[in-house]
Amino acid sequence: MEENWRWLELAAVSLTVLVLALKLGMLLWWRPRKIEENFARQGIRGPPYRFFIGNVKELLLVPVVAQSITEMLDKWSVTMTSSGTDAIKIEVSEWFQSLTEDVITRTAFGSSYEDGKAIFGLQAQQMVIAAEAFQKVFIPGYRFLPTKRNIRCWKLDREIRMSFRKLIQRRRMADRMQQGNGAKDLLGLMMEASNQLGVNDIIEECKSFFFAGKQTTSNLLTWTTVLLAMHPQWQVQAREEVLRVCGSRDLPNKDDLVKLKMLSMIINESLRLYPTTIATIRRAKVDAELGGYMIPRGTEILIPILALHHDQAIWGNDVNEFNPARFSEGVARAAKHPVGFIPFGLGVRTCIGQNLAILQTKLTLSILLQRFSFRLAPTYQHAPTVLMFLYSQYGAPIIFQHLSTREMNEGS
Ligand code: HEM
Ligand SMILES: *[C@@H]1O[C@H](CO)[C@@H](O)[C@H](O)[C@H]1NC(C)=O
């Protein structure tokens, strides 16, 4: 009996890994490749799929992100005031999801924020359907059958494409009126390049941007907040740094963020213990040898980021402990292997959203630390789970308490 269960468990795990690999492959490999091919067909070669890198830096990210965070905190304030206390229980995993959605919408659509929000709303519905399907047994070909769920999904897809087309048309008109001084958001940048990039490509780019950015960044924020709530001594140190660098009231600016080293160590340790993307995939383009193994051309290799980050041989005896101090002399010194820490992948295909994700995380946490102290709610259950991304299965209820003026002054 016992053996049977083992076998079943193994089969279930293998199947899950396989499905996960397929899904991740679709997102991280197949999709960008299609765009690359598209470029190649038009005679554009060279830097492989690197459309956003560099471009993102042109955007005025800090004020854009700060606006989303401020709006979130305003909503918390309303609840606090109406309940008449200075402590409030917040389900951060939910709030951070809408925060991240908002940030991505602003960076992607900027001047067309409302339209963008509507489109991403449709896409979020589609993702819920996909996540539901993801939990079920994978049947090849099933997605082509006109089931109720599939029909709903197709409808959403059509609706998304139509809204995009309308939005791009409206933008083109507006641009013409402003004589080429169009908005500097991602959509604007993509449209400037639209002699190379068709409308469908733009749509696909926006979709993967939203998909790849939302769960990853919101989970990073959730895990880091949970870790700081679990380890008050680190929370205190992080707050001292924030208050020293930015004071207690002002919104941190770009230069402040660079100086927050303690916070950067904490975020890295959170990314090490709970890397939201637990694995990535590479396919061998030619026969190759890797660490003594022959890898035939075409072989796909799963790179287990999560396992690497929990390898005692690389991280030492305290591998499972939360110890941001291991990053005190930078990433290279933290691990016994130069690439033992790869939360954003490695090489020409590393994450293009890394800067945005880190910026949003730093800014959010520094603002929270400035204003509140926080601890786990008694109802918190620690259950890291993988459903495409590493997330907290029962959410993350956290109790936030407004810092008194005295506490804030002590820090500065
Ligand atoms: C904490 C946040 C994030 C984590 C941990 C993360 C992690 C990763 C990882 C591990 C990869 C695969 C890299 C590889 O295979 O070498 C990746 C790729 C990618 N990420 Fe992220 N990511 C995050 C945030 C974002 C954001 C905010 C965006 C966009 C707004 C984004 C967009 C992408 C895209 C488009 C790719 C595919 C790049 C390519 O194939 O060239 N990611 N990410
Ligand atoms: C955290 O990791 C990133 C790379 O992911 C690195 O650029 C940064 O310097 C690290 N910060 C610290 C304090 O180790």
From first to last of its 412 residues, the chain has per-residue pLDDT tens of 445 555 555 555 555 555 555 555 455 444 444 444 544 444 344 344 444 444 455 457 888 899 999 999 999 989 888 888 888 999 999 999 999 999 988 888 887 888 888 888 898 888 888 777 766 776 777 777 788 888 888 999 899 899 888 888 888 888 777 765 666 778 887 777 766 677 888 888 888 888 889 999 999 999 999 999 999 999 999 999 999 999 887 899 989 999 999 999 999 999 999 999 999 998 999 999 988 999 999 999 999 999 999 999 999 999 999 999 999 999 999 999 989 999 999 988 889 889 989 999 999 999 999 999 999 999 999 999 998 899 999 999 999 999 976 566 655 4
Half-sphere exposure in the Cβ direction for 224 (13 Å, CA): 33
| pLDDT score at 134 | 67
Alpha carbon distances (Å) from 119 to 19, 86, 122, 160, 207: 27, 36, 5, 6, 10
Q: Which ligand 2 atom is the nearest neighbour of the CA of 343? A: 5
Nearest to 122 by CA among 164, 161, 165, 160: 160
| pLDDT score at 4 | 53
| pLDDT score at 411 | 52
Instruction: Write out the H or E segment, with its range, that includes residue 290.
Output: strand 288-290
| pLDDT score at 46 | 39
Cβ(49) to ligand 1 under 6 A? yes
Mutate to test the pocket of ligand 2, among 331, 356, 365 (most ligand atoms within 8 A of CB): 331
Residue listed under structure tokens 């002699």? 195
pLDDT in tens, 254-284: 899 999 999 999 999 999 999 999 999 989 9
| pLDDT score at 99 | 95
Cβ pair 219, 389 in contact under 8 A: yes
pLDDT in tens, 148-190: 888 888 999 899 899 888 888 888 888 777 765 666 778 887 7
| pLDDT score at 198 | 77
| pLDDT score at 59 | 55
Amino acid type, 234: W
Phi, psi of 253 (to 5 degrees): -105, -175
Q: Which ligand 2 atom is the nearest neighbour of the CA of 344? A: 5
Mutate to test the pocket of ligand 1, among 344, 355, 364, 391 (most ligand atoms within 8 A of CB): 344
Q: Which residues pair with 288 in a beta bridge?
A: 295
Nearest to 189 by CA among 43, 59, 62, 37: 59
pTM, two decimals, is: 0.84
